[in-house]
Chains A and B, each alone.
Chain A
Amino acid sequence: MSTLTQAARPSLLRRWGGLLLWLLLLALLAIYPYTGVTGSALFTATQVFVLVTLASNWNLIGGMTGYVDFGHAVFFGLGAYSMGILVTRVPLAFSPELSFWQALPLAGLVAALFALIIGLPTLRLKGPYFSIAMLGTFVAMREIIRILRPITGGGTGLDLPPVLNRVNEYYFMLGLMGLVVALIWWIRRSEFGYTLIAIREDEIGAEMRGINTTMHKIIAFMIAAFFTGIVGAFWAWQNTYIDPDVVFIEQRTVEMVMMSMLGGLGTVWGPPLGAVVIYFLQDVVWGNLLNFHLMALGILLILLVLFLPEGILGSLGDPSSTSLGRLLRRAGRRQE
C-alpha cells in the first residue's frame, strides 16, 4: 500500500499540495462555460463529471472498504425515481426549477435510507456473496419498480418537465463532483478512512481491536448511496424522462467498477482519472470502431485485469508491481 505510507508522512506540501492543485483545477473549470464553448461541449463535460462522481462514490465502498458492490446502480435508480415521483406526482413548488431543489436532498435520503436497510444484512456477507446479493437487489428493484405502476408509471416510466439549462447543469455537477472528491480526499486521511482500509485488509483483525466494523461499513455505504442517489436524481432531471430500462442498467455499475479499477482501487484520484480516461477512450477511439467498440471494451477489461490490476495510479506508485509498470519504468530509464 504505497499511498498509505506516503500519506502517513506528515510533509505539509505533500498533505496539502494535492488539494491546492485540485482547487486550482476547480477554478479553471469554473470559468470554462465562459470560454466560448457550446452547449454540447458543456453537456459533455457534465457527463464526465457525472461519471467521476459515480466512480468516486463507488470507490468509497468498493475500493476503500473492499466491499465490491455489483448493484450500486440501484441507488442511482432510486434517486432518479425519487426525483421523478416527487416532481411529477407530488405538488412541491410553484415552478419546476424550485421543485428540483426540493426533491434533490430527498432523493439522496431515500437512497441512503435504502442503503441502511439493505446494508445491515448484506454487509455481513463476505467476498463475492455481497457482490451477488447487491446484484440481486439491483435486479429485484428494477422489477419492483416495474410492478408498482400506479406510483412509478411501470414500464412506461415518468416524464419530467423538460427544463434544460446546460450552464446550470454544468455548475451543479461541477459543485457536486468537487464536494464528493473533497469528501473522499478527507475521508482517506481521516480516522474513519483508515478504519475502512483496516476493514478491507483484515476485517476480523479490525473487529478484534474493538472497531465497530458494522457501523463503519454502513456509514461508508450510506454516504456512497446518498451521493449516487443525488446523481441519479440529477440525471433524471437532465434526461427529462425515466423508465426502468434506462435507469436500472447494469452498464452503469460496470462503468463505476471499471473506472475505479483503471484508475486504482482505493485511491482518491484514481477513480476520477479512470472516469476521464474511459470516457474519452470510448468516445474518441472506439467511436471509430463502430460495431466493434463494445467488444473492444470487453477485451480492454480483460487486459486491464491481467496486466494492470492495480490501476494506473497503483502501478505508478510502485512501478515494479505490474508488467506494464516495469515496462514504463524501463522506458523512463532509457530517457534519462
Chain B
Amino acid sequence: MRRTVLLLSVLLTLSLLLAACPAPPVPQEAQPAPAQEEAAGEAMAEEGAMKVIRLGAAVSETGKFAREGKDTRQGYQLWVDWVNDEYGGIKLGDERYKVELIMYDDESDPDTTARLVEKLITEDKVDFLLGPYSSGLTKSASAISEKYNKIMIEGNGASESLFERGFKNLFAVLTPAGNYTQSALEALAAKGAKSVVIAYEDTAFPTSVAEGAQKWAKEYGLEILGVETYPKDVADVSAIMTKFKDLNPDVFVGGGHFNDAVLFTRSAKELNFSPKGMVITVGPSNPKFVAEMGPDANYIIGPTQWERTMAYKDEYFGTAEEYAQRYEAKWGEPPTYQAAESTATALVLQIAIEKAGSLDTDAVRDALHSLDIVTFYGPIKFDETGKNVAKPMGAIQIQDGNILVVAPEAAAVAELIYPMPSWDER
C-alpha cells in the first residue's frame, strides 16, 4: 500500500512539474492578470533586428474538425508567409513588425481548446488571437480571451449565440449563420417561389441557419409549410422527406453538415421528392460534393461565404481569383471558403493594427470597430457585437457539374435555374 501511494505521489509531483515546466521563469508574471502586450512584444524585439508581433491560435489538426482545421491553418499560414516575406512585415508607424504565429492542435475538444488558449495568453504571451474552427470551440476560446482582455478575431464560428454574450473582444469576418440563406431565398422568391419547407440538424450552427431562413422566408413572402429537426448523426431522413413531399413546397431548405447534404439528396431522389428548388446549407459549395454525388448534385443550391469567381478585391491579395491562384500555388489544392475566411481574418487584424498604429488592445479594438473596407473576401464592417454586417452571403447552384455563383446579383456569374427539373425528367 505504502509503495503504491509513494509511487502515486511521485507521479503526481512529476506531473505537476511537467505542467509547470513551460511556465516562464519570471516570477512577477505569476499572477494570471491581463498582461501588457507591449512588454512582451518589446522583450521579443531585442533578440532580432525586426520587432515581432506574436499571434496565437488553437486550430484542430485531429478530431472531428481535422479537415476544416487544415483549411483554417493553411489560410492563416498563407497570410503569415505573405506578410513576412512579401509585404515586409506589419507597418506600425515607421517600423515594420515581423509576425510570429503559434498554432496548436486543439484536438477538436473544448477542454483542450480552453487550455491551449490559456497557454497562448499566459505562457506564449501572444499579442492577439486568431479563432479556432467551429462555433463550439470558438465559444470556449472566446470566453478565455475575454477574461484576459485579448482580442480574438475569427472567421470560422458563425453561430449567432457567439455574439449574444456581450463580449467586447470577439470579432468575426464571416457572415453570421442567420444570414446564410438570405441571398438564395431572395433569388428564389424573385423567380416566383411561393412556399418553403425547412429541415435542420438540432445543433447550434444549423439552428441559427434555420431560424434565419424562417426570418428571410417571411421577409421575401415565402409561406413556411413545415419545419422539421433531426438529430446529429442521423442515418435516415425518409420520414422528413415523405412529409415534405405531401406538402408539395416550392423550395426545400435543409442541412447541418456535409454528410447530411449527401443524405438529403439521396433521400429526395429515392422518394421522388422534387421541389422546384433545393437549398442545402453545407456541402454543395464544396467541389467534393459534386465529385461524390455525380449528376444527382445538379441544380442544388447552396450558400457560400466566398467563391473565387466573386468580384471582390483588395490591395493586398488582389482579386479573389488571384488569391485562389496564390493559394493553389502554395498548397497544391484550390481554397475552400474556410481557407479564404481564415486568411481574411488575419488580414483584417493586420489592417486594424496598422490603422491603430499600436498593439494596445483598446486601440486595436477601436480600429476594428471603425473599419469599413473591402477585401478579396468581401466587405468588412463590424457592428457593436463584433459581427460582420457588411458582407452578404453568396449562393451557388451546381449546373452541369460546375459550382456557379447565382446570387447576389453583384457577384453572380450564372443565371439561377428555377424550377429545377424533377428527378424523373432528368
Contacts and interface: CB of A to CB of B under 8 A. Distances in A.
Interface string B91-110: 00000000000000100001
A25 B203 contact: no
Interface stretch (A97-105, A115-123, A273-281, A323-331): A273-281
A162 B19 contact: no
B110 A239 contact: yes
B259 interface: no
B156 interface: no
Question: For this complex, into which size category does the number of interface residues on chain B fall?
Answer: 35 or more
Contact of B16 (A6, A45, A239, A317): A45
B19 A45 contact: yes
A84 to B, nearest CB: 13
A18 B5 contact: yes
A17 B1 contact: yes
B18 A280 contact: yes
B147 A155 contact: no
Given A38-B32, A291-B62, A43 B115 contact: yes
Contacts of B30: 34, 36-38
Instruction: Classify chain A: how many residues form its interface, as a range.
Output: 35 or more
A259 B18 CA distance: 19
B62 A293 contact: yes
B422 interface: no
B23 A36 contact: yes
Interface stretch (A71-79, A220-228, A240-248): A240-248
Contact of A162 (B105, B147, B229, B232): B147
A39 B118 contact: yes
A204 interface: no
A215 interface: no
Contacts of A14: 1-2
A44 B115 contact: yes
A25 B8 CA distance: 10
B110 A164 contact: no
Interface string B17-30: 01110111001011
B65 to A, nearest CB: 12
Contact of A42 (B32, B167, B204): B32
Interface in A163-199: 164, 166-167
B381 interface: no
Interface stretch (B135-143, B279-287, B307-315, B362-370): B135-143
A215 B361 CA distance: 59
B164 interface: yes
Contacts of A41: 19-20, 22-23, 123
Contacts of B20: 35, 37, 41
B115 A47 contact: yes
A21 interface: yes
A143 interface: yes
Secondary structure at chain B's binding surface: helix, strand, loop or mixed? helix
Contact of A146 (B15, B63, B231): B231
Contact of B11 (A35, A149, A238, A276): A276
B144 interface: yes
A154 interface: yes
B214 interface: no
B146 interface: yes
B16 to A, nearest CB: 6
A274 B156 CA distance: 36
Contacts of B110: 239, 246
Contacts of A42: 32
Contacts of B201: 155
A241 B142 CA distance: 11
A3 B1 contact: yes
Contacts of A280: 15, 18
Interface of A: 3, 6-7, 13-14, 17-18, 21-22, 24-25, 28-29, 32, 34-45, 47-48, 143, 146, 149, 154-157, 159, 162, 164, 166-167, 238-241, 243, 245-246, 267, 269, 272-273, 276-277, 279-280, 284, 287, 290-291, 293-294, 313, 316-317
Given A14-B2, A25-B9, A276-B8, 16 more contacts: A21-B2, A24-B9, A29-B12, A36-B30, A38-B118, A38-B123, A39-B122, A42-B32, A146-B202, A149-B202, A154-B207, A156-B207, A239-B114, A290-B61, A290-B62, A290-B105
19 contacts: A13-B2, A21-B6, A21-B9, A41-B20, A42-B32, A47-B111, A47-B115, A154-B202, A162-B146, A162-B165, A167-B32, A243-B136, A246-B136, A269-B8, A273-B7, A276-B8, A284-B18, A290-B105, A291-B61
Interface of B: 1-9, 11-13, 15-16, 18-20, 22-24, 27, 29-30, 32, 61-63, 66, 105, 110-111, 114-116, 118-119, 121-123, 136, 139-140, 143-144, 146-147, 159, 161, 164-165, 167, 201-204, 206-208, 229, 231-232
